[in-house]
């Protein structure tokens, strides 16, 4: 690897350590949404930034809560509707309402899908790699070199539980 690749690889954990607590705060996503609305308000009407609403909605569903993502999915398009109707006044109110409803629907679906994916990924704990197992007693050798029962090893390294019975 080159020196720059090594340096950027070393920066990633530092950046992650800084951003994760910041993204876990509700205020971060609210300020991000308000910043996008302010940017939309301050620029001329041909420049529109509602596509950026995806960022606070998706990130809040990923790092905070589904409720915040859903609230942002509704309030940000409503804010854009107010800007389009009362400040820009370029389209009819019916067109602005239709655009706002489309944005609300798309952002709500996005919030649901991201939150659902986060929920599913938290439930999954996967065993990976090759497990050294005894052919005779079916015990597994762990990282420390000691042998454990198959059930014990899997229960410690996943969220699986075992119930025992007798086969016919």
Tell me: the pLDDT tens digits for 52-64?
999 999 999 999 8
pLDDT of residue 10: 57
Find the radius of gyration of the CA atoms of the chain.
25
pLDDT of residue 1: 46
pLDDT of residue 166: 83
Tell me the average confidence (pLDDT) per consecutive run of 10 residues in the chain, 168 residues long.
50 72 87 93 84 94 93 96 88 91 96 93 75 89 88 81 80
- 59 vs 114: CA distance, rounded Å: 9
pLDDT of residue 18: 76
Distances (CA, A) of 98 to 85, 102, 147, 165: 12, 6, 64, 60
pLDDT of residue 11: 63
Under 8 Å CB-to-CB from 33, ≥6 apart: which residues?
53, 56, 72, 75, 76, 79
């Amino acid at each position: 690897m080159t020196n720059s690749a090594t340096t950027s690889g070393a920066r990633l954990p530092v950046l992650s350590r800084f951003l994760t607590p910041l993204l876990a705060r509700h205020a971060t996503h609210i300020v991000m949404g308000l910043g996008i609305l302010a940017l939309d308000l301050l620029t001329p009407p041909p420049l529109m930034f509602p596509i950026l609403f995806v960022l606070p909605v998706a990130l809040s569903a990923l790092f905070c809560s589904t409720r915040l993502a859903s609230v942002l999915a509704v309030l940000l398009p409503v804010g854009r509707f107010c800007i389009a109707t009362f400040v820009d006044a370029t389209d009819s109110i019916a067109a602005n309402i239709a655009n706002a409803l489309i944005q609300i629907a798309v952002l709500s679906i996005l919030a649901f899908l991201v939150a659902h994916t986060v929920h599913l990924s938290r439930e999954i704990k996967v065993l990976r790699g090759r497990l050294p197992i005894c052919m005779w007693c079916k015990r597994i050798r762990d990282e420390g070199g000691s042998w454990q029962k198959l059930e014990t090893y899997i229960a410690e390294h996943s969220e699986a539980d075992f119930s025992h019975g007798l086969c016919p």
